[in-house]
């Protein structure tokens, strides 16, 4: 968590950099990141990887790299400063607010639209992100968004060393999520799915990362804890999570509407194929390295596949594991961080 003092320091440092760029004669181009590099969840991790690499490259424009996870007051304040000082804005759209996540979600989505309309270039982290913001935009403003310069740039993969053999008789399954209270349905779903998979002969181990215990009852917790081949891990920092990822062979990530999961780009980095929900941005990242069972369930408004179809997809993936693993390795090369940075440099230098 970022403290209040840290938030204030970040804000004043960014304002100082904007003023320095506009007022000094010798202007060194810089990117103003806001609080994104200080966040510990997906967008923060992705931003740090971009920031640490792009700072060694040549850019010829100063810009604000605004993102949709910024708080509403930062989007307004940085936008106003940019207009006053004539500084360009690149807006990274990586999600919207929903009713379950924020009670005043309409207000927050309106601020996102405000930031997007006042930006100079849009980056969508997936086409799902694009469709999501268009869906909540008033009809008379949709044309303005579509008229802006924009590009889809998927989450980057990272360098990896893959030691998993192409053929595995028994597999280690990884399921990772924050298991937030506003999506409690997913904790119960994963609990039932894991217990349903525990006796499958092709599964050696099921690893569940995240605070799943917060949203299921004591009896369900005991069932998970008493199952020898199911291991529960609390929420982990990114370094520890990467260690967990590389020791598994298949990932299941079925939560509905995950716009651009950084977790999936990391999974693909290790050449690991996935079972994903078709409704979200994960399938765009994984491409051919995933299977998406058809959504036939509606759980409190969330579209999910039934357990039979999940098992069916899992069986298909395991039978053709070498093929899907090779797809994942190729996809990892296509989405590497260097290409992600290069695309950003092209956009910033074109402002």
Domain ranges (residues) in the chain: 4-156+336-349, 171-334
**Averaged pLDDT, 155-182:** 81
**Residue 160's pLDDT band (cuts 50, 70, 90):** confident
Per DSSP, the three-state class of 91 is strand
Per-residue pLDDT tens for 34-44?
Answer: 989 888 888 89
Tell me if 126 sits within 8 A of 260, measured CB to CB.
Answer: yes
**Residue 10's pLDDT band (cuts 50, 70, 90):** confident
Chosen CATH of 4-156+336-349 out of 3.40.50, 3.30.300, 3.40.1710, 3.30.1450? 3.40.50
Question: Which H or E element spans position 152?
Answer: strand 150-152
Q: What is the pLDDT of residue 22?
A: 66
**Averaged pLDDT, 251-271:** 94
pLDDT above 90 (res 172): yes
Q: Which of 342, 180, 155 is nearest to 266 (CA)?
A: 155
First to last CA, the chain: 33
Taking each helix axis from N to C end, the angle separating 127-136 and 139-146, rounded to the nearest 10 degrees, works out to: 150
Chosen CATH of 171-334 out of 3.40.50.300, 3.40.50.2000, 3.90.1150.10, 3.40.50.20? 3.40.50.2000
CA distance 109 to 115: 10
Q: DSSP per residue over 248-304, as a string?
A: -SEEEE--TTB-S-HHHHHHHHTT--EEE-SSBSHHHHHGGGEE---EEEEETTEEE
**Residue 246's pLDDT band (cuts 50, 70, 90):** very high
**Residue 197's pLDDT band (cuts 50, 70, 90):** very high
**Residue 28's pLDDT band (cuts 50, 70, 90):** confident
pLDDT above 60 (res 226): yes
Tell me if 197 sits within 8 A of 203, measured CB to CB.
Answer: yes
Higher pLDDT, 159 or 217: 217
Average of per-residue pLDDT values in the chain: 91
pLDDT above 60 (res 25): no
Q: Report the predicted TM-score, pTM, of the whole model to 2 decimal places.
A: 0.92
**Averaged pLDDT, 154-169:** 75
**Residue 311's pLDDT band (cuts 50, 70, 90):** very high
CA distance 72 to 76: 6
Same fold, 4-156+336-349 and 171-334: yes
pLDDT above 60 (res 234): yes
Say how far residue 70 (Cα) sits from the centre of its chain.
15
Q: Which of 180, 179, 238 is nearest to 45 (CA)?
A: 238
**Averaged pLDDT, 40-57:** 90
**274-276 and 250-253 strand pairing:** parallel
């Amino acid at each position: 968590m970022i403290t209040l003092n840290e938030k204030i320091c970040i804000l004043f440092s960014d304002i100082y950099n904007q003023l320095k760029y506009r007022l000094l004669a010798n202007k060194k181009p810089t990117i103003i990141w806001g609080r994104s590099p200080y966040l510990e969840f997906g967008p923060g991790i992705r931003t740090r990887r971009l920031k640490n690499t792009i700072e060694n490259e040549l850019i010829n424009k100063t810009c604000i790299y605004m993102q949709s996870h910024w708080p509403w007051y930062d989007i307004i304040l940085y936008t106003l400063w940019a207009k006053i000082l004539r500084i360009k804005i690149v807006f990274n759209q990586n999600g919207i607010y929903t009713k379950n996540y924020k009670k005043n979600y309409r207000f927050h989505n309106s601020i996102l639209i405000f930031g997007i309309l006042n930006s100079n270039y849009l980056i969508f982290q997936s086409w799902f992100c694009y469709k999501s913001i268009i869906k909540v935009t008033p009809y008379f403003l949709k044309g303005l968004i579509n008229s802006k310069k924009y590009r889809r740039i998927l989450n980057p993969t990272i360098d990896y060393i893959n030691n998993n053999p192409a053929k595995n008789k028994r597999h280690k399954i990884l399921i990772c999520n924050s298991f937030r209270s506003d999506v409690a349905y997913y904790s119960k779903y994963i609990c039932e799915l894991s217990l349903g998979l525990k006796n499958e002969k092709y599964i050696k181990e099921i690893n569940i990362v995240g605070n799943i215990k917060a949203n299921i009852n004591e009896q369900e917790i005991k069932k998970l804890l008493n199952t020898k081949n199911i291991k529960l891990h609390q929420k982990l920092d990114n370094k520890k999570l990467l260690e967990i990822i590389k020791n598994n062979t298949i990932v299941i990530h079925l939560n509905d509407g995950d716009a651009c999961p950084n977790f999936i780009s990391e999974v693909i980095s290790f050449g690991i194929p996935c079972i994903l929900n078709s409704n979200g941005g994960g399938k765009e990242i994984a491409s051919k390295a995933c299977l998406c069972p058809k959504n036939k369930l509606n759980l409190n408004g969330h579209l999910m596949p039934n357990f039979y179809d999940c098992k069916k997809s899992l069986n298909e993936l395991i039978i053709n594991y070498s093929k899907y693993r090779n797809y994942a390795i190729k996809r990892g090369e296509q989405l590497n961080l260097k290409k992600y940075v290069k695309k950003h440099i092209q956009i910033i230098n074109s402002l």
